[in-house]
Structure 1
Amino acid sequence: MVKVWTAVAAAVVTYAGAQGHARPSFECEHWKPHYPFNGHYNTTTAISTDKLNVHLIPHTHDDPGWLITVDQYFTQEVDYILDTVVTELQKDPKRRFMYVEQSFFQRWWREQSKETKKIVKKLVKNGQLDLEANGGWVMHDEAAPHYSTMLDQTAFGHKFLLKEFGYDGYGGPGGFFFENDSPIKDDPYLHDNNVCERIKTFVDHSLERAKHTKGNHVFWPMGTDFQYQNAHRWFKNLDKLIHYANQEGRVNMFYSTLGQYTDLKLQDKSLEWSVKTDDFFPYADQPNGYWSGYFSSRPALKRYVRVANSLLQSVRQLEVWAGAKSTRVNHLVATVGLSLHHDGITGTEKQKVSDDYAQRLGEGVGNGHWRLNELLDTTVDFCFLANVSICNRSTTSDPFTFVVYNPLAVAHSYTIELPIIAKNAAVELANGTA
């Protein structure tokens, strides 16, 4: 018998069986793990009333633009995340996965075959693939955007979920990000078997987490930025984590979703929840490390988002007044929504990514201007560069007519600035009055 000690837990290795066919088995402190020699890990469990219930919520956080552009993130990382996750979920109906960013998911969805779409709809229907958490076009910043744009981008994502799936409606403990960290090594033949250490560490973290919440349910969001490109590695290790943690016996662990966790919390009528009435700003991720600079960084992009949203609201009003049966500015909605990403309008992205957001906004604004001319009786030109005194109509035509539209529900005083070639000018209303 050989004793193998780790910094966290002691493991005892024994050998049993006929000579030449010895099968090693491990014993941890206070419990003995049972290795599934048939390769099947037991992830089946019911809700416990006498143990801490630990919900594991597999997820990925995918930024639609940050260090690289939204297109680059999709083609280099997100495409593989969704492909492999769908494959792994089909292997075990107990597995779960939560996905949020609709700007990525809908792009991936358009590329899928009818058969794959059928499979995904089945995964959503049986609760394995959870798309209900947020469901917006992006996970928007909550300080820089105007509230109307937050509502628009969220609704834009929800419309797709309602149409396709009938929906009406950040990370685990360090060392357990299985795409990068060491896997759970449970084969008794391995010299560096780490089951005892890894299970004890994770269960200890879970029990500590329980001290900071009410009731007997805690959750771990198992994932972080752009994880699950290799979903097989993730789910294989999560299967092991659940299998051995439940054998260890101190907690009851299982795959879950944010919706299941929240429902179980709310069902416990004995719990009283405190209400927070103030906000969380300014955010700090370390002592004296306040995230306040982003309130004013990249001011040109921030203004461009506001200008594009103003155009969007104006076009929508005119569509209603014109009796349009449906909107035709989805491209503008999508580009404004994309820019609300918490690494977009905030200015925390790389310069080339900021340029990409601005280019997309320009394309969306062009879509909005095209739709306006569709709705108006007379075609009008738009002065995109009036802020730098460039407007062909006002500097080459004499006289010329310009239109001012106030989309607000209240009167508003505003100074209109247009470049002209004359030193003096007379201004008349369209009805001929001065």
Structure 2
Amino acid sequence: MGLPAVWGLLFGAALLCGGEAACGYQSCPVTKPNMLNVHLIPHTHDDVGWLKTVDQYYFGVRNDIQHAGVQYILDSVISELLADPSKRFIYVEVVFFARWWGLQTEAMRQAVQQLVAEGRLEFVNGGWCMNDEAAVHYSSVIDQMSLGLQFLKETFGECGRPRAAWHIDPFGHSREQASLFAQMGYDGFFLGRIDYQDKAQREAVREMEQLWRASGSLEPPVADLFTGVLPNGYNPPMSLCWDQSCSDDPIVDDESDENNVRSLVTYFLGAAAAQAKHYRTNHIVMTMGSDFQYENANLWYKNMDKLIKHVNAQQQQGSHIHVFYSTPSCYLWELNQANLSWSVKYDDFFPYADGPHQFWTGYFTSRPAFKRYERLSNNFLQVCNQLEVLAGTQATIGPYGNSSSFELRKAMGVAQHHDAVSGTAKQHVTNDYAKQLSSGWDACQVVVSNALASIGGSKENFIFCTYLNISVCPLTEAAHAFAAIVYNPLPRHVKQIIRLPVNGSHYSVTAPDGQAVLNEVIPVSSFTRDVRRNRGDAMYELVFQASAPPLGYSSYTISKVPTGNPTHSKLLKRLHNQALPGKQGLSWEIQNEHLRVLFDSKTGLLKEIQNLDKSISLPVSQTFFWYNASAGNVDSEQASGAYIFRPNSSESFPISKGVHLYQVKNKVVQEVYQNFSSWCSQVVRLYAGQPYIELEWTVGPIPIRDGLGKEIISRFDTNLQTDGRFYTDSYGREILERRRDYRATWNLSQTEPVAGNYYPVNSRIYIKDQKVQLTVLTDRSQGGSSTADGSFELMVHRRLLYDDNRGVAEPLLEPGVYHDGLVVRGRHLILLDTAESSAEKHRLLAQQEFMAPQLVLAPGGGPSYQPGQRRLKQFSALNQALPANIHLLTLAQWEPDSILIRLEHQFEQGESVNGSLPVTINLMNLFSSFNIITIQEMNLAANQKREDMKRLIWQSDAGTASHRSGPKLDPTQVTLKPMEIRTFLAQIQQKFYVQN
């Protein structure tokens, strides 16, 4: 069942706005060129979960937590708009609006259609939610924006397409977000939160609005976006809040002793004039609303009507201030018509602080288990999307039930919210986010099962073992024989290590071509047994290397071999109850064809990495430290919490100065197990043929009986001369240089030398000198920094005892499965290479880490899908692999008769000699399982034809770049340049349902 089919079921048929509509810039109010025009923007900010769950917010339950009911906001606002044609309103969060829309009568829908067609109800942003900008990945952001924008397109046509992006609440802003918005066709971007020092500087020099050049690779103005900083965050000016949640006086203009018109008008005129001093045109904006306001919209509109009336009446007395209802797009239009030249911004807006000791950098790591679950969920969603296309209707209607990818798409859309993946919601709300993802997984497991059965030709009992990271899988633990299907969502051939919990000591593994696969059986570590507790009882892990073709799968047959003790046992070295790693003269190292890793003989810590291919040797010390989380001190009462990172001092403390070790070596893998404490351990691992080192860390429950909150970091110390510089990715795409104690756009007064230098790390962080680069890839978003030259760190976990007074009203004290504190397990991948050749490796490895193969297990021996159907042990949906620098970002069912395809060039301009070259693809013969009948190129969000994109042109200090239409689409010659994403809607004809 495709996406629009589900829209139809949920929301019914929609009437598109007619050709006579005056929406968009045509609908904007008349302004006065010789006056200061004050644009009042009635709005509500409706968090998609925060203190209450999404459902609780929509229906207005649990008002003991927070009084908020979105359904009543929409009811009340629409009623006011229908009663008075002068009024306007903007709305943002499509997940709420879509639910409300589905419950309306046809008469109400037609009335709302008219409001949208007149531009009086305007959608801004238009995503499923207002996403976070620190802990997200670009793939998930594109998906959630596309989901919301598709609903608006299907429901309101062109009049529903937002012109302005509106991120008024995220806690810092990513350059990549601006780039994505620009490629989606937005004309401008409005922000609510920027660093307090940055804002003061901007106000002083009147740079609250400028052009953001959001890519160093895409040719201007492709990623250029006009960006404005709102004057009061997203709140109204002081004394002018007229919601039922506010305590400001209403405007009294009756013959009464309470009449306050003169004082309020005088105050408003002064406030408008003061605000205008920070902006460059004769237009300013005032956000009239806030969190979950307008449940009784009459309060707001009645007072704003009076404000407009009495302020504008002062024009008869010589006032030059004109006030009226407006929208962000109408304000944006007036700025564009001012014909000014705007300054240009090239960096991002991280980190964000709202006071000297108040850096919002803790949420880069908060709730690390949920951050990992969100990342895994996107991985599974892409697999589900792909198989839904490749198997056609048999993926959604099949032997395992009827389902679609839509549930997981919606859940992932919600998870991108700036209080979801950010880790800044209450615990019960975070539990609900996880529950929604879990329901989406259930639905997609049906899709994947149906698809694999129809393609593979066998109705197996497909098993999805979701606890493999702690060596739990009932099938593999008990079965004597089973099948492992490795599905590869990448458009290139990949190799993947498979680790399965087993209770046998010898196994045979057979590849799809019938060849035996080298495998080893090793004991389940004590670390894993401690973490899993009573879940699973596997004694061993079966380890082997699998491979899978592009956009396809390989099926491996695994059988237990009845024989003696595991062959690895002779190679197992253990040391128990010993703080130091070994006896005198015993060498502790692991090595494969590409790398050698050495450990200090006194401490047991990592001490050196050698790249054998490049003859590079780098001293690297890695261990875990903790910061003492501040509970407030004489400098500030600010505590460390879900949002704020504030260590009590710049000093960090090692969890252990020496570690217990044991070691495993065999033909498939070499591992050193490091036990730092009862709650912190790590495996340093090298697989055969693998050009990177894997660190599998396990942290928690973090002890707090000493009354101290703790923030745990993994730190890497080297002798590289880095001059205060380090590098992090932005949303998993372009790389940004960071400099310690430095901001590109103002002179920083640094008050928190640790927290004030933390940045979001979505997929990688690295340091380098002229010759050598050390890169660490993450498996989820984390905070990271370089607090000293030659060193960098990643925060992996945090457990805190105090709330940081930013509204969530809970300490970050996650209970975990057993309610004694959260245990988190994750991976860091280490690459050591020359500085000039590192990019290609970390780009491809990061993409494979993000889009990892999906493992599906089955007992084997199931009946044929159809009588006489041949069983396929290997399958690829591509006629040929894509070049390494081209990624298939999206393959998904979209409209009932079309699919969505996105191709991405995943290298930056000049980043790699070969990787950064343009590539040309023939789309028409790319796929083996279907034929493309018709194809149309779209903007990034797929809600507008690319040829129809006509964004506003802005003059800048860097020169004016006019928007040029791309060449007419030739699907046999699709060229992608560095960092370019091209989006297509295609009608297809399936070639592959079943193979007889």
TM range (shorter): 0.7 to 0.9
Structure 1 residues without counterparts, runs of 5 or longer: 1-43
1:426, distance to aligned residue in structure 2 (A)? 2.4
Show the counterpart of 2:801: none
Helix, strand or coil: the match of 2:508? Answer: coil
1:185, distance to aligned residue in structure 2 (A)? 3.0
Kept in 2: contact 1:80–1:229 (CA 8 A): yes
Show the counterpart of 1:340: 416
1:264 counterpart = 2:361: no
Alignment of 1:182-261 (within 5 A): 182-249=248-315, 250=319, 251-261=321-331
Q: Which amino acid aligns with 1:137?
A: W
Alignment of 1:135-174 (within 5 A): 135-167=126-158, 168=161, 170-174=234-238
1:411, distance to aligned residue in structure 2 (A)? 4.6
- Report the structure, 1 or 2, having the larger helix content: 1
Helix, strand or coil: the match of 2:83? Answer: coil
Q: 1:45 to 1:409 in 2, by over 3 A?
A: closer
1:128, distance to aligned residue in structure 2 (A)? 0.9
Distance 1:416 1:205 in 2: 64
Distance 2:264 2:238 in 1: 11
1:211, distance to aligned residue in structure 2 (A)? 1.4
Deviations 1:214-235 (CA, angstroms, capped at 9, x unpaired): 2111111111100001101010
Kept in 1: contact 2:38–2:324 (CA 8 A): yes
Show the counterpart of 1:353: 429
User: What's the % identity of the aligned pairs?
Assistant: 43
Show the counterpart of 1:111: 103
Deviations 1:359-398 (CA, angstroms, capped at 9, x unpaired): 1110011111111112122442111222232212211211
Q: Which amino acid aligns with 2:280?
A: K
1:285, distance to aligned residue in structure 2 (A)? 1.7
Q: Which amino acid aligns with 1:338?
A: V
Alignment counterpart, residue 391 of structure 1, candidates 441, 455, 473: 473
Deviations 1:17-74 (CA, angstroms, capped at 9, x unpaired): xxxxxxxxxxxxxxxxxxxxxxxxxxx9831111100000100000011011111111
1:326, distance to aligned residue in structure 2 (A)? 10
1:74 counterpart = 2:58: yes
1:156, distance to aligned residue in structure 2 (A)? 0.2
Kept in 2: contact 1:100–1:136 (CA 8 A): yes
Alignment counterpart, residue 44 of structure 2, candidates 40, 50, 60: 60
1:410, distance to aligned residue in structure 2 (A)? 4.1
Kept in 2: contact 1:45–1:252 (CA 8 A): no
Q: 1:392 to 1:359 in 2, by over 3 A?
A: same
Helix, strand or coil: the match of 1:198? Answer: helix
Helix, strand or coil: the match of 2:510? Answer: coil
1:413, distance to aligned residue in structure 2 (A)? 4.7
Question: Which is worse superposed, 87-96 or 243-252?
Answer: 243-252
1:367 counterpart = 2:443: yes
Question: Which is worse superposed, 70-79 or 368-377?
Answer: 368-377
CA RMSD of aligned residues (A): 1.8
Show the counterpart of 1:314: 383
- Report the structure, 1 or 2, having the larger strand content: 2
Show the counterpart of 2:507: 425
Helix, strand or coil: the match of 2:499? Answer: coil
Show the counterpart of 1:381: 463
Kept in 1: contact 2:89–2:121 (CA 8 A): yes
1:278 counterpart = 2:344: no
Distance 1:326 1:128 in 2: 42
Q: Which amino acid aligns with 2:327?
A: T
Q: Which amino acid aligns with 2:289?
A: G
Q: Matched residue pairs, number?
A: 389
Distance 2:494 2:259 in 1: 71
Distance 2:390 2:251 in 1: 65
Q: Which amino acid aligns with 1:95?
A: K
Question: Which is worse superposed, 286-295 or 228-237?
Answer: 286-295
Distance 1:165 1:326 in 2: 30
Deviations 1:60-101 (CA, angstroms, capped at 9, x unpaired): 000011011111111111011000000011121110000000
Could you state the TM-score of these two structures normalised by the residue count of structure 1?
0.86
Q: Which amino acid aligns with 2:469?
A: N
Q: Which amino acid aligns with 1:260?
A: C
Distance 1:105 1:420 in 2: 49
Q: 1:136 to 1:45 in 2, by over 3 A?
A: closer
1:248, distance to aligned residue in structure 2 (A)? 2.0
Distance 2:313 2:394 in 1: 59
Distance 2:263 2:490 in 1: 62
Kept in 1: contact 2:395–2:447 (CA 8 A): no
Helix, strand or coil: the match of 2:76? Answer: helix
Q: Which amino acid aligns with 1:357?
A: Y
Question: Which is worse superposed, 326-335 or 81-90?
Answer: 326-335
Greater RCO (Cα-Cα under 8 Å, separation 6 or more): 1
Distance 1:226 1:282 in 2: 27
Deviations 1:323-369 (CA, angstroms, capped at 9, x unpaired): 45998311100001101100001111110011110111100111111
Kept in 2: contact 1:184–1:195 (CA 8 A): no
Q: 1:244 to 1:267 in 2, by over 3 A?
A: same
Show the counterpart of 2:242: 178
Distance 2:290 2:308 in 1: 19
Distance 1:393 1:193 in 2: 77
Deviations 1:188-229 (CA, angstroms, capped at 9, x unpaired): 322121111112222211111211122111111111100001
Q: Which amino acid aligns with 1:289?
A: Q
Could you state the TM-score of these two structures normalised by the residue count of structure 2?
0.38
Show the counterpart of 2:807: none
1:423, distance to aligned residue in structure 2 (A)? 2.2
Helix, strand or coil: the match of 1:229? Answer: coil
Distance 1:215 1:405 in 2: 56
Show the counterpart of 2:368: 299
Distance 1:198 1:425 in 2: 82
Helix, strand or coil: the match of 2:481? Answer: coil
Distance 1:344 1:222 in 2: 26
Question: Which is worse superposed, 179-188 or 337-346?
Answer: 179-188
Helix, strand or coil: the match of 2:323? Answer: strand
Helix, strand or coil: the match of 2:509? Answer: coil
Kept in 1: contact 2:388–2:405 (CA 8 A): no
Distance 2:343 2:389 in 1: 43
Distance 2:78 2:362 in 1: 39
1:130 counterpart = 2:122: yes
1:47 counterpart = 2:27: no
Q: Which amino acid aligns with 1:370?
A: V
Q: 1:411 to 1:281 in 2, by over 3 A?
A: farther
Distance 2:361 2:119 in 1: 39
Helix, strand or coil: the match of 2:370? Answer: helix
Q: Which amino acid aligns with 1:247?
A: A
Q: Which amino acid aligns with 2:342?
A: W
Kept in 1: contact 2:72–2:295 (CA 8 A): yes
Distance 1:403 1:183 in 2: 66
Q: Which amino acid aligns with 1:405?
A: Y
